[in-house]
Amino acid sequence: MCSHSQNQKHYPELNYGSGAKWIKSLTQNRLSTFLGGHFQDVNLSSVLYTHHIDSSHHVDLQVWSAPGLTKPSFHEAMKQEFKPAKKGDSFGPSSLSLTRLLFAGTNHWWKVTLKIPSYWQQYERVQFEFDPGCEAMIFSTDGVPLQGITGGYGGDRRVEYIIPSQAVRDGQYAVVIESSCNGMFGVPWDGDIIAPPDMNRYFQLASADLVVPNQDAWHLMWDFTTLREIVDTVPGNTALQNKALVTANKIMNAFTSGDPENIKRLRGIAEDVFGKGWYAKGDKIYNEGPKKAQVVGISYCHIDTAWLWPYSVTQQKTARSWSTQIDLMERYPEHRFACSQAQQFKWLEEQYPPLFERIKKKVASGQFHLIGGSWVENDGNMPSGESLVRQFLYGQRYFESRFGKRCETAWLPDSFGLTAAYPQLIRDAGMKYFFTQKLSWNNINVFPHSTFNWVGIDGSQVLCHMTPVDTYTAQATVGDVNKGITNHKNLESDATALLVFGNGDGGGGALPKMLENLRRIRAATNEHRELPSVSMGSSVEEFFADIEEASKEGKTLPVWKGELYLEFHRGTYTSHGSIKKGNRKCEILLRDVERVATLTTLLKPKGHSYVYPKRAIDECWEKVLLNQFHDVLPGSAIGMVYDDADKLYAEVREVCTGLLEDAFSVLLPRSSPLLSNPTSETLVAFNATSFARHDVVKHGYALMHSVGNKVASQSVGMSSICMPASVFTNGMDHFVLRNANVQLTISEGRISSLIDVRLGRELIPKGSSGGLVIFEDRPNYWDAWDVEIHHLETATPLSFSQVRVIAEGPLRAAVQTQVKYGSSTIDVTISLDAITATMKGNSRSCFNFDAVVDWHERHKFLKFELPLNINNTYATYESQFGFVQRPTHKNTTLDAAKFEVCGHKFADLSEYGYGVAFLSESKYGFACEGNVLRISLLRAATAPDAEQDQGRHEFSWAVMPHVGSFLESDVPMAAFIYNSPLHVRTVPERNTSHIVPPLPFWLEGAPNIFLETIKRGEDDFELNASGTTVILRMYEAFGGHGSVKLHVGGHVPVKRAYVTNILEDTKGELGLVSTTGAHNTLKLDFRGFEVKTVKLVLETEESDSDISDISPTMSSKRDSWVTVNDEL
């Protein structure tokens, strides 16, 4: 027979069949029926468990409910009386009802004793499944945290705990469980994530079961899940997508329940996509395939330090999440977990020491990665420049002291926009990489880059990656991996993406299913090329280092200059006014304390016992830095958080007031705080700035004056530089506040005129008026977070009423006004002093507005505005260590998006020759729409805090006309002074000769260099400290170069001087020049917006050491709630 006929016998001559054509869409839709749902009794879900028992004989439960919202430690709980419990019961505070309901926010402790059937020893795994419907932590019986539990049936569900094999052989096992009655996202009252918490929500113990999982069935479920994700993700015209669908369909067709071998055969079918024998390779699957993966996976667990839950709950979330990740590391060698926020590590160190020791071992082994370098993942807009420095200083020093290493990558994935001061500070904190992604939430424009050089206001750059996966809580799906490339915005520069996966916001972290899925995705990409390859086992730093090398040190990457403005959550600059005020006031107070305490250690009488209060200062800073977390300072947390935050601020104010009093008792002996006005005493004030200034003190109105480097201001009479202030009225509705250089008119309740008297220039356009204005404030969803552009269409001007004169001059002229709106009362005192804003030659006076508001509105936005006879395409706003300019027009959608922006101490609209600034002492929201300059004062959101901003508020702002454009003005100096009130005291008249000596540090030269910080060096308080150092931090404020001479008084014995980074590591030595004026001088050069830190090393005697105030490694227990019982 010929070969031709032999070949034809395999292909039938006749065909009476229908063919194998499928309806692809129906087959694809069919895949959803293989797990759960209507067919769960007969599909794969029916075989996931081999055994399942919950009898009291095998599972013995006892419970103790902690009273109220208390959070006892493990050892405290073990001393209590436990009562019998069972699955299905609802448990909680016995005082609430006889049935002991499990009540929102409460904590409950369970003693669990398990009896394991002896025949279960044959199985690969035995689990205890505990589902209280909320979060929980499993402890060993001696108090070691083992693993977290997330109850309920969401995507973050984790209720299984693997019983050790030895315990299975022994037939018994015991654990202790703490359950906390909050979900992963708190307890929103109606299921809406941002709704206020429902403190009457109950939870029920849904399961407390011993189970034997069918491991083959679970792995088949993960196989099938990955196949289905490939089908749903990869384009339908690809071979991989069709092969995955065919394979999944084969599995469904071949599935039969009741046959264990059937499951194994089905897993073999899955190898058509994943490759033969792929499963046996385990984590070694990542060693095959492409040498360089396009997507790099890193596990992460974003835990909001407070948000829809208070700080105390976060402390528990941290322990639950991190212990679980350590457990996963034992089963998945490729698992690498990145973790930020030194504050959370410190809480863990104090409250869960055994777990902290386990983490230290995993850090040393390279599995637990330290990232961020900051105290918390703070807000990126509102903290001061010095606060951002301290976030890094305290964070990096903590990591180094506990783990022997610093972080190399800055990490702020969820902050609501980022100041352009960051690149310089990140580099100066010893890092050059930066990860974020929040700008993917922009609601107007799409940010154009994924990997780029981010260049700050001073020219410093960091290598920045915004993951194209657009989340820091990826679920490690095929879609996530694919999006890492398909959504990448600059593949021409770099074709890699970071996959940051794991449940977050409320904690949790990676789940086993995520790590299993990634293995299968890698196996599939080892066999096929239609999906990007994914790798595991490397660090964030290795990811960035590869980009740095491939891009020739960033040369081939795009550049983004300036702030990373989030086109979303613009209302957070104003929400919760109390937190904004607490932050600003405490930042200033701590700056003053450090300055005064440092001077006291330098100027104290020889032999005096005064010691720099380092420990108290550190504790205060930690509280302020904690409250700067990116859901606390923005005002987007629940009300309980602000109860805690206000308490922390009160503690800081109390401590700092005491520290100032201690120092003043040395610097100004026999002085007293200003409480009354005795005629036999003299006023003296401490000027905590480095600017000469004059002030009118409301103490019967006294004029205080300080010049040069004098830190003490003394009361003086009316001088030639004063311009008597006066107020005129027609007795009805027309009031004029005036001095020799400015004039303001209130007519019919509105500000109708603002005049520069010396120039005869009217600053308000004819027919326009300014004053308070209120807007409807109903964002599309995120209530406390957002204000939308359409609110600008709903303005209602408010008129001052009941205007009356309360001060007629000459030092101060003032009128009292009132506005009634809805259920609210707004009292505003408008005043003008006889002095100018600064001592610059052509400075103008400020009009000050002091408001006391009884606020009871809902979804309203209160602002103050002035239309100005000034034209410019941009306005200027202070930012950290500099300023940022933003458009006043809407030429493009990028311009229009900035209809509400963040500023610090000033906002300014200027043109050539003239400008007007608003000065702020506690507000951060501003806008400039055309020629209308606005400052945002109060909002009234109702979610997630139903009572946000309700009640009494006191705040101030000022209107400052100035000659010259902004760059020619004294606005930054005036704003600095406006935020730095004098510390006024009284001294006996005969004691005026003992006024404190001049400030021993002063600048000469360029006026654009500001001396921000004076403090003692951090290393002075280490155990091996060998001397005394002083840290001086300066910055260039106007965006240009400048040179200054830093003078150091001769009575301060400096032996060496260094430039350091913000962590106070030496960069280089400075030349110290002794002058004939009996002081030393350092010459310093600055580039625009440069921050420069100088360390002075002093000649000291052994008796001058402050070693007694060294903070211990473990903070001692103190009354503040931040440090909880550390009995563990």
Task: Compare 681 and 297 and report the one with higher pLDDT.
Answer: 297
**Mean pLDDT across the stretch 388-408?**
98
pLDDT (0 to 100) of residue 1122: 44
Lowest mean pLDDT among 64-78, 238-252, 264-278, 1110-1124: 1110-1124
Q: How far separated are the first and last CA of the chain, in Å rounded?
A: 89
Is 221 a residue whose pLDDT tops 70?
yes
Please tell me the number of Cα atoms within 13 Å of 439 on its side-chain side: 22
Is 781 a residue whose pLDDT tops 80?
yes
Starting at the earlier edge strand, list the strands of the sheet with 127-131.
49-53, 207-213, 127-131, 160-162
Q: Are 502 and 482 in contact (CB under 8 A)?
A: no
Nearest residue to 721 (alpha-carbon basis) of 807, 834, 837, 848: 834
DSSP string, 911-924: ETTEEEEEEESS--
Verify whether residue 259 is a known catalytic residue.
Answer: no
| Whole-structure pTM value | 0.96
Which tokens belong to 1048? Answer: 């150091």
Is 600 a residue whose pLDDT tops 90?
yes
> What is d(CA 632, CA 309) in angstroms, rounded to the nearest whole number?
11
Q: Residue 937: what residue type?
A: L
Residues 6+ apart with CB under 8 A from 1000: 599, 602, 603, 1048, 1049, 1051, 1052
The per-residue pLDDT for range 254-307, each reduced to its tens digit, is: 999 888 899 999 999 999 999 999 999 999 999 999 999 999 999 999 999 999
* C-alpha 203: how far from chain center: 31
Widest pairwise Cα distance in the chain? 133
Strands 337-339 and 295-300 turn out to be parallel
Residues 6+ apart with CB under 8 A from 663: 593, 596, 597, 599, 600, 610
The H or E element spanning position 621 is helix 614-626
Lowest mean pLDDT among 147-161, 596-610, 697-711, 724-738: 697-711
The per-residue pLDDT for range 907-947, each reduced to its tens digit, is: 999 999 999 999 999 999 999 999 999 999 999 999 999 99
The H or E element spanning position 640 is helix 639-667
What is the SS3 assignment for 951?
strand
Residues 6+ apart with CB under 8 A from 533: 289, 290, 293, 294, 295, 522, 525, 526
Measured N-to-C along each axis, helices 614-626 and 385-403 cross at an angle, to the nearest 10 degrees, of 110
Confidence band, pLDDT 50/70/90 cuts, at residue 405: very high
Give the start-end residues of each E strand in 285-327: 295-300
Measured N-to-C along each axis, helices 385-403 and 342-351 cross at an angle, to the nearest 10 degrees, of 50
The per-residue pLDDT for range 575-593, each reduced to its tens digit, is: 999 999 999 999 999 999 9
- Under DSSP, the state recorded for 675 is -
Measured N-to-C along each axis, helices 311-331 and 512-527 cross at an angle, to the nearest 10 degrees, of 40
Helices (H), 332-435: 342-351, 353-365, 385-403, 422-428
**Mean pLDDT across the stretch 117-146?**
97
How many percent of the chain have pLDDT more than 90? 84
Beta bridge partners of 418: 564
- Under DSSP, the state recorded for 772 is E
Residue 239: exposure state from Cβ atoms within 10 A (0-12, 13-18, ≥19):
exposed
Q: What CA–CA distances, in Å, run from 1028 to 919, 1025, 1055, 1096?
A: 38, 8, 11, 8
The per-residue pLDDT for range 1011-1040, each reduced to its tens digit, is: 999 999 999 999 888 889 999 999 999 999
**Mean pLDDT across the stretch 387-412?**
98
> What is d(CA 46, CA 1019) in angstroms, rounded to the nearest whole number?
63
The per-residue pLDDT for range 941-988, each reduced to its tens digit, is: 999 999 999 999 999 999 999 999 999 999 999 999 999 999 999 888
In the 3-class helix/strand/coil scheme, how is 967-1006 assigned residue by residue? HHCCHHHHHHHHCCCCEEEEEEHHHHHHCCCCCCEEEEEC
Q: Are 689 and 980 in contact (CB under 8 A)?
A: yes
Confidence band, pLDDT 50/70/90 cuts, at residue 713: confident
> What is d(CA 103, CA 200) in angstroms, rounded to the nearest whole number?
6
Is 893 a residue whose pLDDT tops 60?
yes
pLDDT (0 to 100) of residue 96: 35
> What is d(CA 554, CA 571) in angstroms, rounded to the nearest whole number?
35
Q: Residue 894: what residue type?
A: L
Residue 647: exposure state from Cβ atoms within 10 A (0-12, 13-18, ≥19):
middle
> What is d(CA 237, CA 818) in angstroms, rounded to the nearest whole number?
70
Q: Are 987 and 937 in contact (CB under 8 A)?
A: no
pLDDT (0 to 100) of residue 1119: 36
Task: Compare 608 and 1063 and report the one with higher pLDDT.
Answer: 1063
The per-residue pLDDT for range 1062-1115, each reduced to its tens digit, is: 999 999 999 999 876 678 999 999 999 999 999 999 997 755 566 556 554 444
The H or E element spanning position 4 is helix 3-8
pLDDT (0 to 100) of residue 965: 98
Residues 6+ apart with CB under 8 A from 251: 34, 220, 223, 224, 227, 266, 269, 270
Is 788 a residue whose pLDDT tops 70?
yes
Neighbours of 164 (CB within 10 A): 10
**Mean pLDDT across the stretch 797-823?**
97
Nearest residue to 568 (alpha-carbon basis) of 454, 438, 695: 438
The H or E element spanning position 684 is strand 681-686
> What is d(CA 16, CA 33) in angstroms, rounded to the nearest whole number?
32
Q: What CA–CA distances, in Å, run from 773 to 239, 818, 865?
A: 62, 13, 7
Whether omega before 512 lies within 30 degrees of 0, making that bond cis, reads no
The per-residue pLDDT for range 172-185, each reduced to its tens digit, is: 999 999 999 887 67
Q: What is the mean pLDDT of the chain?
A: 93
Which tokens belong to 629? Answer: 């977390």
Q: Are 714 and 704 in contact (CB under 8 A)?
A: yes
Which tokens belong to 135? Answer: 């979060």
Residue with the two structure tokens 């410093």 = 460
Q: Are 200 and 178 in contact (CB under 8 A)?
A: no
Is 190 a residue whose pLDDT tops 80?
no
Confidence band, pLDDT 50/70/90 cuts, at residue 785: very high
Q: Which of 414, 777, 833, 945 is catalytic?
A: 414
Task: Compare 69 and 379 and report the one with higher pLDDT.
Answer: 379
Is 529 a residue whose pLDDT tops 50?
yes
Nearest residue to 409 (alpha-carbon basis) of 436, 385, 387: 436
> What is d(CA 183, CA 134) in angstroms, rounded to the nearest whole number?
5
Residues 6+ apart with CB under 8 A from 16: none
Q: Residue 152: what residue type?
A: G
Nearest residue to 467 (alpha-carbon basis) of 496, 493, 446, 445: 496
Q: Are 1027 and 1077 in contact (CB under 8 A)?
A: no
Nearest residue to 179 (alpha-carbon basis) of 89, 57, 274: 89
pLDDT (0 to 100) of residue 7: 56
Whether omega before 944 lies within 30 degrees of 0, making that bond cis, reads yes
pLDDT (0 to 100) of residue 1107: 56
> What is d(CA 441, CA 426) in angstroms, rounded to the nearest whole number?
24
Is 168 a residue whose pLDDT tops 70?
yes
Residues 6+ apart with CB under 8 A from 24: 236, 245
pLDDT (0 to 100) of residue 992: 61
Nearest residue to 572 (alpha-carbon basis) of 494, 498, 634, 663: 634
The per-residue pLDDT for range 93-120, each reduced to its tens digit, is: 322 332 334 556 789 999 999 999 999 9
Residues 6+ apart with CB under 8 A from 1073: 1080, 1081, 1082, 1083
Is 993 a residue whose pLDDT tops 70?
no
pLDDT (0 to 100) of residue 1126: 36
